């Protein structure tokens, strides 16, 4: 059984996915299997992927969305840990080596998050330098709530059996399927956050989903509803921890709604999480949101 199963879902990204796959093949740590799953691409992506058939495992499905692609690839995986690398992101050559070091150091924790750096020009990735491992250990993901980190799938190694037992990713056609999954395993023992070196380079481009989109709004509402329905672990004793991790994702979506003249959805997200943010002493957000809402409304009135 390999230590890692690297899973790369892709849909209509024939050029960017090549760079992504190459960054995985160039890892200094070799105890991994690589699974690329094509979510029903309609361009030349299948042709490009065929070049790697001797070096990676290729899967294909009818277009079902990201959650289904991740689940289907995970069902075919054999690694102790799975990592879901987005088809436009890149790994630094030492990424898996440092993750493996953290896994050994902390006796196989449930989740390991590598440090991330965003980029727009791939040339800047070459300037990132390796460094000795520096990390932080928490009893579980919930325990990190006072200094929460975005668990980017491209740089998160999670124990496969734990994620599968929790049900994997939902298959709705909106976002936050990964955040929902992480919350469902948030009490699994051991969460390590690598502060250095940078392990993953996250590409910023026009194809990224912005803070505002209806898919993000629907996903945010799903997280809020799921918390209200008691779908996430920890009970009453750890609800502030869950609220902190959930509102980390909701606040930028609510502001994005204001900026895109979707005040109805902005206020709905604000109202539904008001008590949570108040309990968390998020006074800056609670005070700034109404001011921003009034400013956007006045701006719209002047333009009419």
Across 144-157, b (16+ Cβ under 10 Å) vs e yields: bbeebbebbbbbbb
Q: Are residues 14 and 74 in the same domain?
A: yes
pLDDT of residue 303: 53
Q: Are residues 235 and 268 in the same domain?
A: yes
Q: Which residue in the block uniquely carries the two structure tokens 């190459």? A: 22
Instruction: Residue 190: name the closest of 227, 159, 149 by CA.
Output: 159
Q: Which domain holds residue 113?
A: 4-203
Quick one: how far is CA 1 from the chain centroid?
25
pLDDT of residue 207: 61
Q: Are residues 139 and 275 in the same domain?
A: no
pLDDT of residue 155: 98
Q: Are residues 160 and 264 in the same domain?
A: no
- Asked if the bond preceding 189 is cis, omega within 30° of 0, the reply is no
Cβ neighbours around 124 below 10 Å, total: 12
pLDDT of residue 296: 85
Instruction: Residue 176: name the closest of 234, 239, 252, 114 by CA.
Output: 252
CATH no. for residue 23? 3.90.550.10
> Domain boundary residue among 141, 171, 203?
203
**Alpha-carbon separation of residue 290 from 54, 217, 263, 293 (angstroms):** 56, 19, 11, 5
pLDDT of residue 209: 52
Kindly give the confidence (pLDDT) of every residue in the chain, 304 residues in length, as a single tens digit, with 9 standing for 90 and above: 999 999 999 999 999 999 999 999 999 999 999 999 999 999 999 999 999 999 999 999 999 999 999 999 999 999 999 999 999 999 999 999 999 999 999 999 999 999 999 999 888 999 999 999 999 999 999 999 999 999 999 999 999 999 999 999 999 989 999 999 999 999 999 999 999 999 999 998 766 555 558 999 999 999 999 999 999 999 999 999 999 999 999 999 999 999 988 999 999 999 999 999 999 999 999 999 999 999 988 876 555 5
Q: Which residue in the block uniquely carries the two structure tokens 């992504």? A: 20
Q: Are residues 177 and 229 in the same domain?
A: no
> Domain boundary residue among 203, 237, 258?
203
Question: What DSSP string describes 186-234?
Answer: TTSS-EEEEEEEEEEEEE--TTSPPS--HHHHHHHHHHHHHHHTT-SSS
Q: Are residues 151 and 228 in the same domain?
A: no
pTM above 0.85, yes or no: yes
pLDDT of residue 300: 62
């Amino acid at each position: 059984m390999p230590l890692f199963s690297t899973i790369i879902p892709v849909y209509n990204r024939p050029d960017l996915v090549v760079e992504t796959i190459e960054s995985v093949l160039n890892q200094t740590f070799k105890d991994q299997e690589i699974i690329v799953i094509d979510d029903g691409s309609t361009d030349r992506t299948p042709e490009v992927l065929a070049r790697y058939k001797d070096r990676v495992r290729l899967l294909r499905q009818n277009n079902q969305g990201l959650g289904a692609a991740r689940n289907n690839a995970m069902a075919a995986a054999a690694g102790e840990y799975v990592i879901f690398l987005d088809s436009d992101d890149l790994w630094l050559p030492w990424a898996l080596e440092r993750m493996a070091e953290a896994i050994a150091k902390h006796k196989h924790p449930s989740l390991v998050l590598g440090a991330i750096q965003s980029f727009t020009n791939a040339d800047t990735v070459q300037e990132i330098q390796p460094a000795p491992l520096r990390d932080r250990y928490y009893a579980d993901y919930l325990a990190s709530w006072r200094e929460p980190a975005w668990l980017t799938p491209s740089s998160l190694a999670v124990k496969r059996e734990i994620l599968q037992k929790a049900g994997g990713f939902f298959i709705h056609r909106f976002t936050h399927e990964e955040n929902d999954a992480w919350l469902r395993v948030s009490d699994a023992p051991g969460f390590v956050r690598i502060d250095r070196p940078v392990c993953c380079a996250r590409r910023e481009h026009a194809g990224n989903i912005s803070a505002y989109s209806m898919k993000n709004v629907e996903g945010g509402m799903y997280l809020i509803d799921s918390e209200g329905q008691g779908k996430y672990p920890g009970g009453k004793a750890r609800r502030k921890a869950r609220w902190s991790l959930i509102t980390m994702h909701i606040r930028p979506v609510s502001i994005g709604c204001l900026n895109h003249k979707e005040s109805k959805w902005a206020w709905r997200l604000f109202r539904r999480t008001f008590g949570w943010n108040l309990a968390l002493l998020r006074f800056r957000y609670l005070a700034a949101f109404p001011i921003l809402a009034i400013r956007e409304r006045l701006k719209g009135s002047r333009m009419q």
